[in-house]
């Protein structure tokens, strides 16, 4: 009896969902402190009906810019228990369905589409940037890929409306909507170089999307543009990104990387298929952003890996076509099982291994809430900034909201100096400057800075240990 | 169904009629021009206004000086005299105070410039709807709002340029003589205004095959420029700007609206329909772009050109055969919304009083408590205010052209702001006779420093034997160098 492809797809979707949910619930806390910032905005919306405009806890108090659609959307569902774990798991798993649809559009082949769906469900990078995280990226990636699918089938009015609505939602949700612009620009470029005429409706929708994204982002980020001008694109980020090639290959996944590159080659140079040109544009668009240093490397690689997974569909199709021409065709089922096993081994297992429970014990932050004054600031590394605001309800020195943040480079430098420096006087000076009364240091921080403890505490009496991971500045 | 369609057509016609009504355009322009003054008060606003206020007052009370003792610690009096002379003449002839002139001239000239622009467009047989749309684009451009919501170097020359050109395109000879008179007046202003006049007259006459008429205009204008500038040796003032500084949202003080630029692309596409038959327009456009690259002040004229191109661009975009009417309408709406938004945003920002009361009070304090020979160190943004409100010498200001050793001064300014070496800083203070330091909240919040641990802020906080805080209100600090 032949199993219906849709049933297999449903199984893959459920498998991916259960896997994501299992990893999410394996930790009592969310990964990535940005998740807690988003929860705080949602709480604010629930309490006041408005997102946070002036955040008195971030960087000691400053204006912030948020694209509020994401927060409003999930504020509606916030009555559901663990909505911040369940919805990300469902939406990330929806990538399985979207990639199936795109692959089907590209290959018109069930087997390769299903394999693509399976591949897209378990990309190792997910565990670093998507799983158990409540950031807009878990919506942005599926939405962008859905928009690409709609773009492929634009002649159908249903998809045209979906594209208009989807692109508006994306523009209102995240600045990554600019990626869509870059994808479409590369699409025009590649189509022109290949001499393939672009459908008129597609040209129209590209003009529309361009102005839509530009207008919405300019309206939302007007204050940022006025403050930084063109440098706004770099997001006032004090951190420098470095790309580790081998780690990136591991995180993208060996199979998507190899088959993806092969797929792009086949589709672009041999078949000259419009749909694969669109996927190539996604890859080129994200590479372009990475090259300019505008995007975070992990997020860039996430989109890149998705593009490669989709491009893999062509390679998988050709692999099976080739197989049919050989004597191994009688072992087709065995090959399929082997391939599934290989995907599990090279994609699912690395995804599981790569998953890290970022925070295991956050009781110290709750301690701050009960044992410190409300106007006191706490020194903690950048990665803990939002935890201080969310759990302790106290001012942090720095967090990852760099746009419009005062003096983020200096703050980052000073906070790092608090952990790595030797000078007692300097430490006192820094804590005085930021009005900080506490210094937070746990084992992860010690490991990160490669220190046993703060090096200067014995040099004076102003910094005393009040708890295992907490120092208080008493002078 | 047919009835409904008829009604919608009728409604559309009514809207178009209303939208294209010149009275509506001028009413809107008047509201936009007056609004910032209504919000911030009918008073002098912005650096340029204060500069003209100081110089005009000085000339009225004394004479045209040969040396400006206050700017850059003292410099030769090398400024374009056009706007200053107009202010002085109006003051002497009409007995209107300089402050009132500075407040009302831009509003009045803004209004009349728009009127002239509209009339010129109508003379060129541009339809009423298109002319209206061009005017709307111009009114909502950040450059127009910058130029006519407070006194700058733009309102008078732009008005004269439009008036001159309006006379040139008229058939009657009397207008041509009037045009000569206007252009003679124009030659007292920046080079860019005269160059625009020459370019536009040249292309207009070339297009109408009357190039022989260009000779008297060019001879008279160039002769006056020669005579005018042989004394002061002015040039085109080529100053390099970064590409993004030409756009108002991306860092320019009064740049172009991005959406207007995009509309103009479509306008170019519209022109390109006739390919090389429009070569004259391409040449005109390219020449103007070159002028803009050479001097950013030319942006006012580029905005005029882009408003025309943009309006045609939008018309072209709307009239193209679209597969989807919804997308067409949405795209057009977004372009218009973008233009309105950039104008509105600029209007909101320019409605805040500059300088604000905190800075103003501190400058008055400086005037009352310092010696006229004292040099006040501050960011260049406050240089003109130090001259005009405190009547004291500044270290640097925005009038960089022809300032003595201006590059060196800006180099030293940077050194003073960021160097933590006390002896070096004191040495520079002594060399330039700096006796007071004027620090504003804006300077402390990223214009110069980001925290008190940097450069000069670090030094003044930790060396009470060399620096004494004599004023500290609303975040504005005045320090005395001991």
Counting Cα atoms < 13 Å in the Cβ hemisphere of A421 gives 15
- Asked if B452 has any chain A CB less than 8 Å from its own CB, the reply is yes
* A287 shares its domain with A350: yes
Q: Go through chain A and tell me how many residues it has.
A: 475
- The residue segments making up the domain with residue B223 are 2-41+80-350
Nearest residue of chain B to residue A168 (CA atoms): B330
d(CA B214, CA B205): 7
Q: Across all residues in chain A, what is the average pLDDT?
A: 89
Cross-chain residue pair A433–B451, CB shorter than 8 Å: yes
Chain A CB contacts of B446 below 8 Å = 227, 406-407
pLDDT value at residue B240: 63
Q: Helices H, strands E: what count in chain B?
A: 21, 7
According to the 3-state scheme, what is the secondary structure of A70-135? HHHHHHHCCCCCCHHHHHHHHHHHHHHHHHHHHHHHHHCCHHHHHHHHHHHHCCCCHHHHCCCCCC
Domain boundary among the residues B334, B350, B366 is at B350
* B266 shares its domain with B303: yes
Q: What is the pLDDT of residues A100-129, one digit of tens each?
A: 999 999 998 898 999 999 999 999 888 888
Chain A CB contacts of B252 below 8 Å = 229
* A309 shares its domain with A394: no
The two tokens of residue A431 are 């804590």
d(CA B271, CA B234): 37
**CB within 8 Å of chain A, chain B residues 207-266:** 242, 244-245, 249-252, 258-259, 262
Structural domain includes residue A39: no
DSSP character string of A241-282: P---HHHHHHHH-HHHHHHHHHHHIIIIIII--HHHHHHHHH
**Is A411 a residue whose pLDDT tops 80?**
yes
Q: Is the dihedral of CA B52, B53, B58, B63 positive or negative?
A: positive
DSSP character string of B42-106: SS--SHHHHHHHHHHHHHHHS---SEESSGGGSEE-----HHHHHHHHHHHHH---HHHHHHHHH
Pairing assessment for the beta strands A395-396 and A377-379 based on DSSP bridges? parallel
Q: What is the pLDDT of residues A83-104, one digit of tens each?
A: 999 999 999 999 999 999 999 9
Structural domain includes residue B47: no
Q: Which residues pair with B473 in a beta bridge?
A: B476
Cross-chain residue pair B446–A406, CB shorter than 8 Å: yes
Q: Which of B445, B452, B229, B481 is nearest to B371 (CA)?
A: B481
CB A307 within 8 A of CB A282: yes
Q: Count how many domains chain A has.
A: 2
Q: Which residues pair with A470 in a beta bridge?
A: A440, A467
Cross-chain residue pair A230–B251, CB shorter than 8 Å: yes
Chain A CB contacts of B262 below 8 Å = 211
pTM score? 0.85
* A179 shares its domain with A314: yes
DSSP character string of A291-318: HHT-S-HHHHHHHHHHHHHHHHHHHHHH
Cross-chain residue pair B331–A160, CB shorter than 8 Å: no
Structural domain includes residue A101: no
The two tokens of residue B117 are 């622009």
* B324 shares its domain with B459: no
For chain B, residues with pLDDT lower than 50 are: none
pLDDT value at residue A2: 64
pLDDT value at residue B144: 92
Structural domain includes residue B459: yes
Residue B241 DSSP code: -
d(CA B61, CA B407): 32
* More confident call, A236 vs A166: A166
Chain B CB contacts of A204 below 8 Å = 322-324, 327-328, 331
**Is A43 a residue whose pLDDT tops 80?**
yes
Q: Which residues of B422-433 are buried (b: 16+ CB within 10 A; e: fewer)?
A: eeebbebbeebe
Whole-Å CA distances, B8 to B111, B325, B336, B473: 34, 16, 21, 60
Domain boundary among the residues B303, B319, B350 is at B350
**Is A369 a residue whose pLDDT tops 60?**
yes
Chain A CB contacts of B322 below 8 Å = 200, 204
* B305 shares its domain with B385: no
Structural domain includes residue B407: yes
Q: Which of B203, B109, B89 is nearest to B158 (CA)?
A: B109
Å from B137 to nearest chain A CA? 17
* B475 shares its domain with B378: yes
pLDDT value at residue A146: 95
Domain boundary among the residues A354, A383, A417 is at A354
- Asked if B319 has any chain A CB less than 8 Å from its own CB, the reply is no
* B384 shares its domain with B311: no
* A345 shares its domain with A406: no
* More confident call, A296 vs B304: B304
Q: Across all residues in chain B, what is the average pLDDT?
A: 87
Q: Go through chain B and tell me how many residues it has.
A: 482
Q: Which of B296, B427, B439 is nearest to B362 (CA)?
A: B439
Structural domain includes residue B456: yes
Chain B CB contacts of A410 below 8 Å = 450-451, 453-454
Give the number of beta-carbon pairs within 8 Å between A and B: 80
pLDDT value at residue B442: 87
**CB within 8 Å of chain B, chain A residues 219-258:** 219, 222, 225-231
**Is A360 a residue whose pLDDT tops 90?**
no
The two tokens of residue B287 are 């020449």
pLDDT value at residue B359: 93
Q: What is the pLDDT of residues A422-436, one digit of tens each?
A: 888 888 988 888 888
Q: Which of A37-41, A320-324, B151-155, B174-178 has the highest mean pLDDT?
A: A37-41
- Selected for mutation to probe chain B from A206, A219, A226 (highest B CB count within 10 Å) is A226
Smallest Cβ distance to A211: which of B335, B345, B445?
A: B335
* More confident call, A458 vs A138: A138
* A350 shares its domain with A404: no
* A345 shares its domain with A430: no
**Is A15 a residue whose pLDDT tops 70?**
yes
Q: Count how many domains chain B has.
A: 2
Segments in A293-407 forming alpha helices (H): 297-325, 332-343, 349-354, 363-371, 385-387
- The residue segments making up the domain with residue A395 are 363-473
Rg (CA), chain A: 24
- Asked if B337 has any chain A CB less than 8 Å from its own CB, the reply is yes
Å from A210 to nearest chain B CA? 9
Q: Which of B163, B211, B153 is nearest to B184 (CA)?
A: B163
* More confident call, B436 vs A336: B436
Report the CATH number that the domain containing residue B378 is assigned in CATH: 3.40.50.12610
Mean pLDDT across A155-162: 91
Domain boundary among the residues A354, A375, A398 is at A354
Cross-chain residue pair A225–B250, CB shorter than 8 Å: yes
Report the CATH number that the domain containing residue A412 is assigned in CATH: 3.40.50.12610
pLDDT value at residue B229: 66
**Is A469 a residue whose pLDDT tops 90?**
no
Structural domain includes residue B298: yes
* A272 shares its domain with A221: yes
Structural domain includes residue A209: yes
Q: Which of B170, B172, B152, B153 is nearest to B116 (CA)?
A: B170
């Amino acid at each position: 009896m032949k199993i219906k492809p849709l049933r297999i797809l449903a199984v893959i979707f459920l498998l991916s969902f259960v896997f994501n949910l299992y990893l999410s619930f394996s930790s009592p806390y969310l990964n990535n402190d940005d998740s807690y910032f988003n929860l705080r905005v949602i709480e604010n919306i629930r309490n006041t009906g408005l997102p946070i405009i002036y955040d008195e806890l971030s960087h000691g108090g400053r204006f912030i810019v948020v694209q509020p659609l994401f927060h409003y959307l999930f504020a509606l569902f916030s009555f559901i228990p663990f909505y911040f774990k369940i919805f990300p798991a469902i939406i990330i798993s929806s990538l399985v369905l979207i990639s199936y649809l795109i692959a089907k559009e590209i290959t018109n082949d069930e087997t390769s589409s299903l394999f693509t769906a399976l591949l897209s469900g378990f990309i190792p990078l997910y565990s670093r940037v998507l799983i158990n995280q409540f950031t807009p990226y878990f919506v942005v990636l599926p939405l962008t890929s859905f928009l690409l699918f709609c773009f492929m089938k634009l002649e159908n009015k249903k998809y045209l409306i979906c594209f208009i609505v989807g692109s508006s939602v994306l523009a209102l949700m995240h600045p990554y909507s600019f990626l869509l612009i870059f994808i479409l620009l590369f699409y025009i470029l590649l189509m022109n170089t290949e001499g393939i005429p672009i459908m008129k409706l597609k040209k129209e929708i590209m003009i529309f999307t361009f102005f839509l994204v530009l207008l919405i982002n300019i309206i939302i980020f007007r204050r940022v543009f006025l403050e930084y001008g063109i440098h706004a694109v770099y997001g006032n980020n004090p951190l420098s990104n470095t790309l580790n090639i081998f780690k990136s290959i591991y995180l993208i996944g060996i199979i998507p990387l190899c088959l993806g590159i092969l797929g792009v080659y086949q589709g672009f140079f041999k078949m000259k298929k419009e749909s694969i040109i669109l996927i190539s544009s996604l890859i080129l668009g994200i590479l372009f952003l990475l090259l300019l240093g505008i995007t975070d490397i992990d997020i860039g690689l996430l989109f890149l890996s998705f593009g490669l997974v989709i491009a893999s569909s062509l390679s998988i199709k050709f692999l099976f076509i080739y197989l049919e021409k050989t004597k191994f065709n009688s072992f087709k089922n065995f090959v399929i099982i082997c391939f599934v096993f290989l995907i599990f081994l090279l994609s699912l297992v690395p995804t599981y291994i790569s998953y890290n429970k970022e925070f295991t014990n956050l009781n110290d932050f709750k301690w701050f809430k009960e044992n410190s004054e409300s106007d006191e600031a706490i020194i903690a590394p950048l990665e803990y900034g939002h935890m201080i605001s969310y759990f302790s309800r106290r001012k942090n020195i720095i967090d990852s909201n760099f746009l419009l943040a005062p003096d983020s480079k200096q703050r980052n430098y000073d906070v790092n100096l608090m952990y790595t420096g030797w000078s007692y006087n300097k430490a006192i000076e820094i804590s005085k400057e930021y009005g900080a009364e506490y210094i937070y240091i746990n084992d992860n921080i010690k490991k990160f800075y490669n220190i046993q403890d703060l090096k200067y505490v014995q040099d004076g009496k102003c910094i005393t240990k009040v708890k295992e991971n907490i120092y208080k500045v008493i002078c | 169904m047919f009835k409904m369609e008829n009604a919608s057509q009728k409604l559309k016609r009514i809207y178009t009629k209303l939208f294209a009504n010149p009275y509506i355009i001028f009413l809107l322009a008047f509201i936009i021009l007056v609004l910032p003054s209504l919000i911030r008060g009918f008073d002098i606003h912005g650096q340029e206004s204060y500069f003209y206020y100081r110089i005009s007052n000085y000339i009225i009370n004394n004479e045209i000086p040969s040396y400006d003792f206050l700017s850059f610690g003292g410099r030769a009096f090398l400024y374009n005299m056009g706007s200053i002379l107009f202010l002085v003449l109006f003051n002497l002839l009409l007995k209107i105070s300089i402050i009132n002139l500075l407040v009302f001239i831009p509003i009045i000239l803004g209004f009349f410039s728009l009127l002239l622009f509209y009339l010129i467009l109508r003379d060129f047989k541009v339809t009423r709807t298109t002319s209206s749309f061009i005017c709307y684009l111009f009114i909502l451009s950040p450059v127009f709002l910058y130029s006519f919501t407070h006194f700058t170097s733009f309102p008078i020359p732009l008005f004269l340029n439009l008036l001159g050109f309006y006379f040139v395109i008229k058939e009657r000879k009397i207008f041509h003589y009037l045009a000569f008179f206007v252009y003679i007046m124009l030659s007292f202003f920046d080079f860019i205004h005269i160059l625009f006049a020459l370019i536009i007259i040249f292309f207009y006459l070339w297009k109408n095959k009357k190039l022989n008429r260009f000779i008297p205009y060019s001879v008279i204008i160039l002769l006056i420029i020669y005579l005018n500038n042989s004394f002061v040796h002015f040039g085109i003032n080529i100053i390099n700007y970064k590409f993004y500084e030409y756009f108002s949202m991306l860092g320019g003080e009064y740049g172009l609206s991005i959406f207007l630029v995009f509309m103009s692309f479509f306008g170019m596409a519209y022109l390109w329909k006739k390919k090389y038959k429009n070569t004259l327009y391409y040449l005109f456009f390219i020449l103007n772009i070159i002028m803009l690259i050479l001097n950013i002040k030319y942006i006012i004229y580029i905005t005029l050109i882009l408003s025309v191109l943009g309006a045609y661009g939008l018309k072209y975009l709307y009239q193209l055969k679209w597969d989807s009417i919804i997308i067409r309408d949405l795209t057009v709406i977004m372009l218009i919304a973008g233009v309105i938004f950039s104008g509105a945003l600029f209007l909101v920002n320019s409605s805040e009083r500059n300088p604000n009361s905190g800075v103003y009070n501190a400058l008055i304090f400086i005037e009352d408590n310092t010696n006229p020979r004292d040099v006040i160190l501050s960011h260049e943004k406050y240089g003109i205010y130090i001259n005009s409100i405190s009547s004291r010498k500044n270290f640097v200001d925005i009038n960089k052209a022809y300032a003595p050793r201006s590059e060196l001064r800006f180099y030293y300014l940077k050194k003073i702001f960021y160097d933590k070496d006390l002896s070096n800083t004191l040495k520079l203070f002594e060399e330039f006779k700096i006796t007071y330091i004027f620090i504003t909240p804006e300077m402390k919040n990223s214009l110069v420093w980001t925290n008190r641990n940097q450069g000069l802020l670090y030094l003044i906080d930790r060396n009470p034997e060399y620096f004494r805080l004599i004023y500290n209100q609303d975040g504005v600090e005045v320090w005395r160098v001991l």
